[in-house]
Structure 1
Amino acid sequence: MQAPSISIKNLTLNIHASPKSSAPALALVGAALAASVQSDIPEIGQPWPGQGGINGGLVAARGDVPEHYLIIAAEDAGSHEWGRRGETSGATSKTDGLANSAILLEEGSHPAAKAASNYTADNLNDFYLPAAAELYQGWVNCPEVFAQDCYYWSSSQRSAHGAFHVHFDGGPQDGNGKLNALRVRPVRRLFI
């Protein structure tokens, strides 16, 4: 029987283990794979080549969404209204901006969500309007990549008349009228 081998980029592991001792060998493979993946990850707040933006940090698994990195677009997608003031939206998740954005796009007449979903970078077109917690993660991890003199929309509705936003000079998170034109910073997920 030939010993199995696994290649990871420029690293090849040959596993010489009997069936009884395969667990330690598999642990070694897992550790080598994790080390290989980790070496390619830029520091938080730094551009992530080929991923359309900046490393916004690791997001823990929650519900149906596995652990992933939040990629923050390198630039804003303009200033836009949230839309549909006076109407209740189904976009109420404070943590899942992708789900919120899908709801907003389906409902229609949500300019901020549309601008975020139309954003492309590095030939990637899976950007969306971040949920309140995702936008706040940007403020916690790398506020310097955002303009400091304005508010940014989240995709999380607060009421029929307002949605959550963050101001990046000090991090206040509050609700604002849906008809106000606030900045939009698209994000995307990178699963590893």
Structure 2
Amino acid sequence: MNAQAQITPPAIGEVWTGQGGIYAGIMPARGDAKPYHLILGEELGRFEWGPYDDESPATSLIDGQANTMALLEHGDYPAAKAAAAYASDGHNDFYLPAIAELYEIWLNLGYRDGYWLWSSSQRSAINAFHMHFDDGNQDLYGKDGELRVRPVRRLFIQ
């Protein structure tokens, strides 16, 4: 049994000591992806999603880590760049969550903070998905607009 399998998470909504943030629950398995723990980092401020009228490769609705890596390789995407630059408790593997990951966090934590967060999921060349953490509403917003960024990291369940 490896060390990762021996880790016991705290209650959902509690700070996970040594893991870089708040424990936001388990992201269920989807497709070929295994389930994993979601850890929510601090809010980083407001950023543009990225170039307006640019078709990016960040089209996954469920894999924010893959989206963030694709955005960093594709061009200048301030929200993804800010999330990927974040580090906490010695962890530097944070990323901009996909829209499904944000929804899972909202379901698990029951946040009612009343603000919009960018996801890493592109909808079109001009819009990306974002989520309202007051009522769970998901919508589109122009990529050149500024919304809040809150990075996440994942810890796989073994």
For residues 27 and 115 of structure 2, the distance between their equivalents in structure 1, rounded to whole angstroms, comes to: 25
Report the AA paired with residue 165 of structure 1. H
Matched, 1:176 2:144: no
Residue aligning to 2:92: 125
- Could you give the per-residue CA deviations for residues 100-157 of structure 1, whole angstroms, max 9, x where no partner exists? 000100012100000000000001000000000001111111143x7x2321000000
Could you list the runs of 5+ residues in structure 1 that have no partner in the other structure?
A: 1-5, 10-33
Aligned with 2:68: secondary structure? helix
Q: How many residues align?
A: 156
Give the letter aligned to residue 162 of structure 1: N
CA deviations over 1:45-103 (Å, ceiling 9, x no partner): 11111000111111223344322101111x11111000111011110000000000001
Match of 1:56 among 8, 19, 24: 24
Equivalents in 1 of 2:108, 2:147: separation in Å?
21
Offset, 1:173: 0.2
Aligned Cα RMSD in Å?
1.9
Task: Spell out the pairing of 1:1-192 with structure 2 (5 A cutoff).
Answer: 37=7, 40-73=8-41, 75-144=42-111, 148-192=113-157
TM-score (norm 2): 0.91
Gaps of at least 5 residues in structure 2 are none
- Give me the whole-angstrom Cα distance separating, in 2, the residues matched to 1:170 and 1:60: 21
- Per chain length, whose mean CA-contact separation is higher, i.e. which structure has more relative contact order (CA < 8 Å, sep 6+)? 2
Runs ≥4 residues deviating over 6 A: none
Percent identity over the alignment is: 54
Task: Name which one, 1 or 2, has greater alpha-carbon Rg.
Answer: 1
TM-score under structure 1 length normalisation:
0.76
Letter in 1 for 2:44: A
